[in-house]
Amino acid sequence: MFKTSLTLSSVIVAAMSGPLLAAETETRLPKLQLAPHLTVSGLSSGGYFAAQFHLAFANEVKGAAILAAGPVYCAKNDLMQALGNCMNQPTATPDLPAINQYLATQQAAGKLAPATALADSKVWLFSGSADATVLPQVSTALYQQYQQWIPKEALRFINDQPFAHHFPTNQAGFTACDKSESPFIASCNYDASGQLLSHLLGAIKPPASQASGQLVKLQQHQLAPAAAGQLAAEGYLYIPESCASGAACRLHISFHGCKQDVSQVGDAYIRHTGLNEYADTNQLVILYPQVKKSAMAPFNPNGCWDWWGYSGEHYATIDGPQLKAVKQLVEALRQ
């Protein structure tokens, strides 16, 4: 469908210590040797979307790590449901029976992967006990939802850390762990990236002390036309040197949260969650797709991935424009 010889704008970050976009060059995307299966992760709206992507393409996605999000299809194509039962209302109670019935119907109709395709997945869930944006009981509902598909030993739910709404890291210099503030990355002495990758992938090597791969800018509108009007013009791909040189590598997709795309937080999310350092030592390619904020239709003023229906009623199925678009990005990387 797409050719890897397509010219792309890229940034080569030798030490990853200077400004991310300091020097842009034109290059060609390396021919990548990617494993057939992949894993996903995401925070907040990115967590909701990561779970949607998992259910839609479970034949290919064999691991999902979801931070600070609730059950798939929680909003039921209704913004008021999203705000009421899927976030921070004190009485928030996701309607799991109705939600799961909808998902079962979509699975039976071939609009989601069959439930049997989820059985060999690994899932890692995280909910900070001090999260006031997506309340712990909402994330607990996601855990309950996954229990119907995922074997107990493959499903892990971390809910005993007193963290606010953010991506917790062991890196210094970010938000205090009890605060939920831009860029929604926090210094918690907690390595969420290492925790989630070790659960999804099994034994992993310690991270590099400093990321040293390439960060490539992808032309998303060209590679992913299914949602060109909703995605930012550019997404990002982190490629370790070994993967760029032809080694067999695995693909991991990381979905940012609301108010966390490059236009709003710069390179914070695509540089500082800790994923890139693990990518260098574990032969992982990290895809960072970017959705754009919009004050006009489709209304998305905070730059959130669609988990409530602003892109259309089929947002949580394989017919959802954003799910289709990210799948197109994956297909482009495999060419």
Catalytic residue among 54, 165, 199, 272: 165
Catalytic residue among 10, 41, 121, 131: 131
End-to-end CA distance of the chain: 8
Sign of CA dihedral 335, 51, 200, 173: positive
Contact present, 78 and 102 (Cβ < 8 Å): no
The phi and psi torsions of 142 (rounded to 5 degrees) equal: -65, -45
166 is catalytic: no
44 is catalytic: yes
Alpha carbon distance 308, 48 (integer Å): 9
Catalytic residue among 41, 44, 45, 311: 44
Nearest to 27 by CA among 227, 210, 239: 239
Contact present, 47 and 66 (Cβ < 8 Å): yes
The residues annotated as belonging to the active site are 44, 131, 165
